[in-house]
Amino acid sequence: MKTIYSAIQPSGIMTLGNYIGAVNNWRAMQSDAGNKCIFALADLHTITVRQRPEDLLKNSWSFYALLLAVGIDVSKSIVYMQSHVHQHSELAWLLNCYTYVGEMNRMTQFKDKSAKHSDNINMGLMDYPVLMAADILLYDTDLVPVGYDQLQHIEITRDIALRVNNIYGDVFKVPEGFIPKVGAKIMSLQDPESKMSKSDPNPNAVISCLDAPEVIMKKFKRAVTDSDTVIAYDPDNKAGISNLLRILAVTEGKSVEETVKSCEGLRYGDLKVRVGESVVEMLRPFQSEYARLINSMDYLAVCAKEGALKASDIAEKTLARFKSAIGFAAK
């Protein structure tokens, strides 16, 4: 049995990119009896950027409901809030002592986020990858489903685990990153050279999983394409059209090649409408279930508590193993 671990930050909105690139794959993975799936709301990571307390609280429960609404099943997967499992913070501190400053200085996301949040370049922002390493290593993780932008974090996690193992023996399982073949990176509808991001200041660039159908259709109709008229999958030269084809392939459950063939003869406007309608239909049952769950706070609280207890039980064993290896006295 392989252990699958992944997490999502409960900040802003869950975008179509989050859904297709991450959460939709989580649901597929939990359906495999050979997988033990552990999914977290990474609220500790979220506060590297200043949050209004009321927004963080609201978003945390909203994202928890979104995960359940999309089909993450608490009877098959462990689903919890990161801040409810104290071992994440404790292991992160210990791993800091086995991580080099130069490694953190080279991390691409630290440079990017520092540029975007120059008024709040805090230590958490720099130390983010070490906490992420702790998240992953606590659960003896085999595979971490990620987007391309997170591969560097998987590599530093592996480096830290191997460094510890080389000193103390077989302490941590060394994880591998997993990138799905389709939909791993959904791009902005207004700037198809950039990833779809919840922090994009242009509302037409991003599809929220909770957008109304008419809003979704309007955003797709405004999607940036090119001056050509040929529908072809060519990310280098036709980034906008290729992005629409990737989205359509996922929503219709086809390969990109099959999708391109099925779109032969369509005009760009027709393609945009078809993608918009397909996304609306994919999100319809998800939105309906979310509306039910977000009004069932007692149920969500019970699920989150049970998930945290299960996660903590696993995490404590790993933490105790590491602390014993480095010489801490047992309780």
DSSP assignment of 159-201 equals HHHHHHHHHHSS-S---EEE--SSSS-PBPSS-TTSB--TT-S
Q: Of 198, 221, 317, 323, which residue is the catalytic one?
A: 198
Is 113 catalytic? The answer is yes
Is 272 catalytic? The answer is no
User: What's the gap between Cα 278 and its chain centre?
Assistant: 22
Q: In what order do the strands lie in the sheet with 143-145?
A: 77-81, 35-41, 2-8, 143-145, 176-178
Q: Of 76, 173, 185, 195, which residue is the catalytic one?
A: 195
Cα angle: 55, vertex 126, 99; to 5 degrees: 130
CA end-to-end distance (rounded Å), the chain: 31
Q: Of 36, 113, 238, 272, which residue is the catalytic one?
A: 113
3-class DSSP string for 86-140: CHHHHHHHHHHCCCCHHHHHCCHHHHHHHHHCCCCCCHHHHHHHHHHHHHHHCCC
Which structure tokens are listed for 318?
A: 């790993």
Is 198 catalytic? The answer is yes
Residues with active-site annotation: 113, 195, 198
